[in-house]
Amino acid sequence: MKILLSHASHFDKSEGIHFARVLRRLGHDVHEVNLAATAAGTGSPGQLVRGYPADVSIEELLADSGGGDLFLYLEPAGLIPVGLERSPIPTAAVFADTHRNVRSHLLVATLFDHVFSYMRNYVDVYRHHPAAARHWLPYGCDPMVFRDCGVDRDLDVAFIGRLHTAERARIIESIRRRHRMNDQRYYLQSEVPGVYSRAKIVVELPVADTMHFRLFEALFCGAMLVAKRANGGEEELFKDGVHYVSVDDEDDLHGKLDYYLTHDEERQRIALNGHEAATQEHTLDHRMLQLVKTIAHGPKDSAPVRRMTKREVLRTYAMIHERAGRVETLLKMAAAARKTPWVRAELLGRSARSLGRRMVLGW
C-alpha cells in the first residue's frame, strides 16, 4: 500500500517518525509530507519529508507522489491538503489529547473518512462519523526504540512530562523529596528509553480520564509502572497488580512507592509481567496492522466533509487555518474569492482574527 503520511516531522516526539518506520518495515510505501516551512524532518537519515504550502490540493499531492492508496494525518500540526471532500483515496486521522479541545478536534475530524483516537473515552465524541468509522487505537511502541537498555536501575522513580498543573508539580516534588528521581527537564525522545531503563518505577499521573503513551514506554523499557487510576483503557489492556499497579490518590501513591521500593522481588515480577505483555501484544507493529486492516474493511467515503456544500467546505478549511494562525493562507483564499464579496469579507475577517491570535500567543 502507498501511504501519504502527514505529520509534524519537525518535532522530535512526532508519532509520525515511528509510524513511518514501522509502516515501511511492514512493507508499505510511505511518502512523508508536511508544511513547507517545517518539513526538514527528524526521521531516519536519508528519508525525505516533502514540504508543501498549506493550500496544496489532494490532487497535487497524489500527482507529486505518483498516486496513493491512503492519506493518513497525525494530529497536530501536519499538512491538511484542500479538497479532501473529493479525495479519490481513503483518508484517516489519528487524534491525541482530544480532551484538551474537543471542538477543535471535531472540526478537523470532519475532513477524514476514518477517525482513530488514542483515548478510548473520547472515541464517541466524533459523533458526526458513523460508528464503524470511529475507532480506539491505543498507543503502542516500536521495541527497536523503546526497550530495556540493560543499564543499572539507579533511579528509584522516574517521571518525564510537563509539570503543567499545580497538582502534578506538587506530587512530583513530594516524590523527589523522598526518592531518587531523574531531573525534571525537557527530554529528547532519544533520551527517554535511557531514563526509563535506569528507573525501578515509572510514575504515570494522567490528565483527566486518559491513558498516556508514558504508560507503554515505561513497560517497554522494563520499569515497574505505578499509575494513578484513570479508567482510560489501561484496565482493559493490562491487569492491575499483575502488569502494573494502580493508585487512587497521593497517599496511596506514596504508600505503594515505599512498599515496592523495599520489596524488590515483587516489584521485579510485576515489571517483568508488564514488559512481556506490552512487547507481545502492544507494539506499534500491532497498531499499524490494526489501522490498515480497519480502513481496508471499513466504510468508504465516511468523511462528513464529503456531504457538505461548497460554502461549508470553504468555511471548515478557513476555520482550521484561522486556528492554526495561517494568515497568509487566508489572505490567498480571500484574493481568490474576489468575485464573491461575502466570501472575501468572511475570509478577511478570519485572517484578522488569526493575526490577533498569533499576536496574543506570541507566535
Show the cell assigned to 144: 527497536
Q: What is the mean pLDDT of residues 121-143?
A: 96
Task: Indicate if the pLDDT at residue 46 is higher than 70.
Answer: no
Q: What is the mean pLDDT of residues 100-128?
A: 95
Per-residue CA distances from 190 to 17, 124, 145, 258, 347 (Å): 12, 34, 8, 30, 42
pLDDT computed for residue 44 by the predictor: 47
Q: What is the mean pLDDT of residues 291-297?
A: 97
Per-residue CA distances from 151 to 147, 157, 174, 199, 308 (Å): 11, 15, 26, 10, 56
Provide DSSP, 187-205: --GGGHHHHHHHEEEEEE-
DSSP 3-state assignment of 323?
A: helix
pLDDT computed for residue 76 by the predictor: 84
Show the cell assigned to 277: 505483555
Q: What is the mean pLDDT of residues 7-31?
A: 93
Question: Average pLDDT, whole number, for the chain?
Answer: 93
Q: What is the mean pLDDT of residues 48-69?
A: 93
* Amino acid occupying residue 165: T
Task: Indicate if the pLDDT at residue 332 is higher than 70.
Answer: yes
Show the cell assigned to 153: 536501575
* Amino acid occupying residue 183: D
pLDDT computed for residue 39 by the predictor: 54
Q: What is the mean pLDDT of residues 231-259?
A: 96
pLDDT computed for residue 43 by the predictor: 47
CB atoms within 10 A of CB 340: 13
- Is cis: bond before 304, omega within 30 of 0? no
Lowest mean pLDDT among 19-23, 109-113, 321-325: 321-325
pLDDT computed for residue 40 by the predictor: 52
Task: Indicate if the pLDDT at residue 217 is higher than 50.
Answer: yes
CB atoms within 10 A of CB 254: 16
Task: Indicate if the pLDDT at residue 165 is higher than 90.
Answer: no
Hey, what domains does the chain have and what are their CATH numbers?
Answer: 2-140+289-306 (3.40.50), 155-282 (3.40.50.2000), 309-363 (no CATH)
Q: How far apart are CA 36 and CA 359, in angstroms?
A: 22
Show the cell assigned to 234: 489501561
Q: Considering the entire predicted model, what is its pTM?
A: 0.93
Q: What is the mean pLDDT of residues 240-263?
A: 97
Element (H, E) at 176: helix 166-178
Show the cell assigned to 285: 507493529
